[in-house]
Structures are given as C-alpha cells and as structure tokens.
Structure 1
Amino acid sequence: MLSARNLFQEILDDDESFRLFCSIAAGGESQGGWENGRIAALAPWSQRALAPKIARHGADEDKHGRIFHALLKRRGLRPAEVPHETDYTMLLEKHGIGLSHEQLKRDEQLTELDIITYLAHSRVTEQRASEQMELLLRHFADHPDLGRAVKMISQDEANHLAYCHEELLRFARSGHGRTIQRILRECALTEIRVYRDVSLAVMYHMGRILGWPRTKAAVLAAGILGIYAYERLAGWRRMVSLELPERRDPLGGPATPAPEYA
C-alpha cells in the first residue's frame, strides 16, 4: 500500500536515500541558521529587543542541521551533494522570497520593513516545516534512530511558528497590517510553487535511488500535483492567517541544547 508512512520507511531503510534525505534537510536548516544569525546582527535599533529571539531562531536551525548530520554519522554515512533543484531555501531566495544573501552579507543595518519581510517569510516556511515534522512525528515518534530527533525538531518548529504569529501581530497593531498581508500572500503563493517543484525533484532522485517503477513514480507525482492544485485554490490561506498563539514568548529564552546529537 502506498502511504506516507510506507514511503518514508522505504527512504529511511535504504542508506543512499536516507543519506540524501538527511543531507537535504541539514543543508536547509544550516542555511536558515546563517540567515537568522545575520538578521539578528543587522536588526535596526528600533527592533534590538527582537534580535535575541531572531538569534535563538537561528541557533535552533543550526542545531537541527547538526542533528541531521549526527543521524548520518550514526549510520556511518557521509553527507551527499544536494542537487540544486532540491534546495528549497536557495530556490525561495531565487524567486525573491525573504531577504537576499547579497543583502545579508553587507554590514548595513536592516529596516523595519526588512524585519517584517523576514517574519512574513518565516511565518510561511515555518508553517510548512511544522506540518512536515508533525507528519514525521505521527509516524516515527518511536523510531529507534529518528524518533528523538523528530520530537525535538517538531517542538522547535512549533515554537518558531508561534513566534512568527506573535511578532507579526505586534507589527500589525502598530499599523503594518496591510503590508504584512500583502507580503504573506506573495510569499505563500510563491512557496507553494517552489515546494511543488522541490517535491517533484526529491521524488525523482529518491525514485532513481530506490528503483521505483514508472507507475509508482507517476502516482507520487500526481499526488504532489494534486496537493499543489488544492494549495493554489485555497490551501495557501492557512499560511497567511494570524492568530495569537497559545505559546507566548516561545523564543524568549536560550536555545535548547542537543548534547545527544551534536
């Protein structure tokens, strides 16, 4: 039976597909860590109180990257080269989502609009990350190798999403509501296209490694396209809504260490 659990289990059981899965995940998390670190360092004076939370966000992402590298090490595997068409964070930047690396590499203070753009971008991408980790948590919370990592990362992603809601609502109360909604909508509509393309690319590479027959690959591709069609029609709206989170000040303290992994 072709199910999410069976699909992930097949990927996890094979060394090469597991190697690619962890390498893609580690690369994205590490990239996010660097971006957040730079944004924290360049935050405008009017938002200096936010800088420690941005830095905490980045520290969590760095930790996740180390966790995925540690999972590879446990299996005696080295990181794989990540195909450019599977690089979610790079492709989002290429499509103009978030703050560019060129801007972040300059030692120029960011503006309030830059911070709002960063938070809106994060609100959309953290929605995706949180949902993906919830899916893995549902199926692999008790997995001997992956379970502890999934629980830790899922908790962090839920905190990141709550933080984005909380801070964007703070900016909305100060008069930036229309700007936030415009940026959120632009980010969401672009993200669902990038996610579709990356998902198709990842499935292609996994299918090549695992020797999937054409019929199986076609069914998976149709499923990805079906999800995109739903998200293009209405599903994107879940990424742009804002509500006061149950988790208040979720990034108000130091990052949770992961000594068992890093």
Structure 2
Amino acid sequence: MLSARSVFREILDNDESFRLFCSIAASGEAQGGWENGRIAALVPETERALAPKIARHGADEDKHGRIFRALLKKRGLQPVDVPPETDYTMLLERHGIGLAHDRLKAAEPLTVQDIVTYLAHSRVTEQRASEQMRLLLRYFADDPDIGRAVRMISHDEDNHLAYCHEELLRFAYAGHGPAIQRTLRDCALAEIRIHRDVSLAVMERMGRVLGWAPAKRQLLAAGIHALHGYERAGGWRRMVSLKTPRRRDALGGPATSAAEFA
C-alpha cells in the first residue's frame, strides 16, 4: 500500500536516496544559518534587542545542518551536490522572497521594514518546516537511526514558528500590521508554488534512484498537485494568521547543543 510512511521509509532505507535527502536538508539549513547570521549582524540600532534571537535562530539552523551531515557520516556516506531544481532556499531567494543575498552581503544596516520582511518570510517557511518535521516525528520518533534528530529539529522548528508569531505581533501593534499582512500573503502564495515545484523535482530524483514504476511516480505527482490545489484554494491562509504563541520568548536563550550527533 502506498502511503507517506512507506515512501519515507523507502527513501531512508536506501543509501543513495538517503544521501540525497540529507544533502538537500543540510544545504537548506546551512543557507538559513548564514542568512540569519547576517541579519543578526545588520539589525538596525532601534531593534538591537532582537539580534540575539535572530542569531539563536541562525545557530539552530547551523546545528540542523550539522545533524544531517552527521547522519550521513554515521552511514559512511558523503554529501552530494544539491540539484538546483531541488534547492528550496535558493529558489525562494531567486523569486524575491525574503531579503536578497546582495543586501545581506553588504555592510549597510537593515531597516525596520527589512526586519518585518524577514520575519514574515520566516513565519511562512517555518510553518512549512514545522509541519514537515511533525510528519517525520509521527512516523519516525522511535527510529533508532533518525529518531533523536527528528525530535530535536522538530522542537526547534516549533520554537522558530512561535518566535515569528510573537515578534510579528509586536510589530503589528507598533503600526506595521498592513505591511505585515501584505508581505505574509505574497510570501505564502509564492512559497506554495515553489514548494510544489521542489517537491516534484525531489520526487522525480528519488524515483530515478529507487526505480519507481511510472504509475507510482504519477500517483505521487498527483498527490503533490492535489496538496498545491488545496493550498492555492485557501490552505495558504494557515501560513499568514498570527496568534500569541503558547511558547513565549522561545528564542530567548542560547542554542541547544547537538554534540551527540557529531
């Protein structure tokens, strides 16, 4: 029977598909770590109190990249180059979602509006990350190889999402509400399209590695298109709502260690 659990299990049990999965994940996390690190360094003077939280966010992303690389090392595997069509973070940046890398590479401080844009982008992408890690957590929390990694990363992604809600609400109360809603909507509509395209590209790559039959590939592609159809019809709205999180000040301390994965 074809199910999300069986597809993930097949990917994780094969060395080549596992290597591609972890390489894509590690690359995206490392990119997120760099972006957050640069944003923390360029925070405007009026928002310097936010810099440690942004830096913590970046440190968490770097940690996740190390965890995925450690999972590869544990199986005696080396990372592979990430195919451009599967590079979620690069495609988001190319489509103008978030802050441009040229902006982050410069020495000029960011503006408050830049920080609002960064938080809105993060609120959308962290929603996706939180949901994906909860899915893996449901299936593999007790897995002897990846269970600890999934639990740790899922916890961090939930923290990141809570932090985005809390900080965006603070900016909304300060008068940035209309700009936040516009940015959230634009980010969400672009993200669901990019997520569909990346999912199709990853599925195609995995199908080649695992030798999936055409019928199986078509069924999985239909599922990806169905999810996008739901999100395009209104599912995207879950990515733009704001509410006070149960986890308050979720990034108010130092990043947790991942030494056990090294």
Pair in the same fold by TM > 0.5: yes
4+ runs of 1 displaced by more than 4 Å? none
Q: 1:196 is matched with which residue?
A: 196
SS of the aligned residue for 2:249 comes to coil
Q: 1:158 is matched with which residue?
A: 158
Q: 2:214 is matched with which residue?
A: 214
SS of the aligned residue for 1:215 comes to helix
| Percent identical | 75
Q: 1:111 is matched with which residue?
A: 111
Q: Which runs of 5+ in 2 are unaligned?
A: none
Q: 2:88 is matched with which residue?
A: 88
| Structure 1 residue 239 corresponds to structure 2 residue 249 | no
Q: 1:2 is matched with which residue?
A: 2
Q: 2:141 is matched with which residue?
A: 141
- Matched AA of 2:121: H
Matches within 5 A, 1:177-188: 177-188=177-188
CA distance in 1, matches of 2:133, 2:13: 19
CA distance in 2, matches of 1:254, 1:210: 40
Per-residue CA deviation, residues 16-72 of structure 1 (Å, 9 max, x unaligned), is: 000000000000000000000000000000100000000000000000000000000
Per-residue CA deviation, residues 168-207 of structure 1 (Å, 9 max, x unaligned), is: 0000000000000000000000000000000000000000
Task: Number of aligned residue pairs: give it.
Answer: 262
Q: 1:49 is matched with which residue?
A: 49
Per-residue CA deviation, residues 180-238 of structure 1 (Å, 9 max, x unaligned), is: 00000000000000000000000000000000000000000000000000000010000
Per-residue CA deviation, residues 93-126 of structure 1 (Å, 9 max, x unaligned), is: 0100000111100011000000000000000000
- Matched AA of 1:178: P
| Structure 1 residue 66 corresponds to structure 2 residue 66 | yes
CA distance in 2, matches of 1:261, 1:50: 29
SS of the aligned residue for 2:49 comes to helix
CA distance in 2, matches of 1:258, 1:210: 31
| Structure 1 residue 205 corresponds to structure 2 residue 200 | no
Question: C-alpha root-mean-square deviation of aligned residues, in Å?
Answer: 0.3
CA distance in 2, matches of 1:103, 1:225: 34
Q: 1:261 is matched with which residue?
A: 261
CA distance in 2, matches of 1:94, 1:233: 24
Q: Which runs of 5+ in 1 are unaligned?
A: none
TM-superposed CA distance for 1:261, in Å, is: 1.0
CA distance in 2, matches of 1:139, 1:152: 15
CA distance in 1, matches of 2:195, 2:161: 18
CA distance in 2, matches of 1:258, 1:223: 35
SS of the aligned residue for 1:260 comes to helix
CA distance in 2, matches of 1:212, 1:159: 37
SS of the aligned residue for 1:67 comes to helix
SS of the aligned residue for 1:34 comes to helix
CA distance in 1, matches of 2:80, 2:132: 21
SS of the aligned residue for 2:145 comes to coil
CA distance in 2, matches of 1:231, 1:221: 15
CA distance in 1, matches of 2:199, 2:90: 14
SS of the aligned residue for 1:251 comes to coil
TM-score between the two structures when normalised by the length of structure 1: 1.00
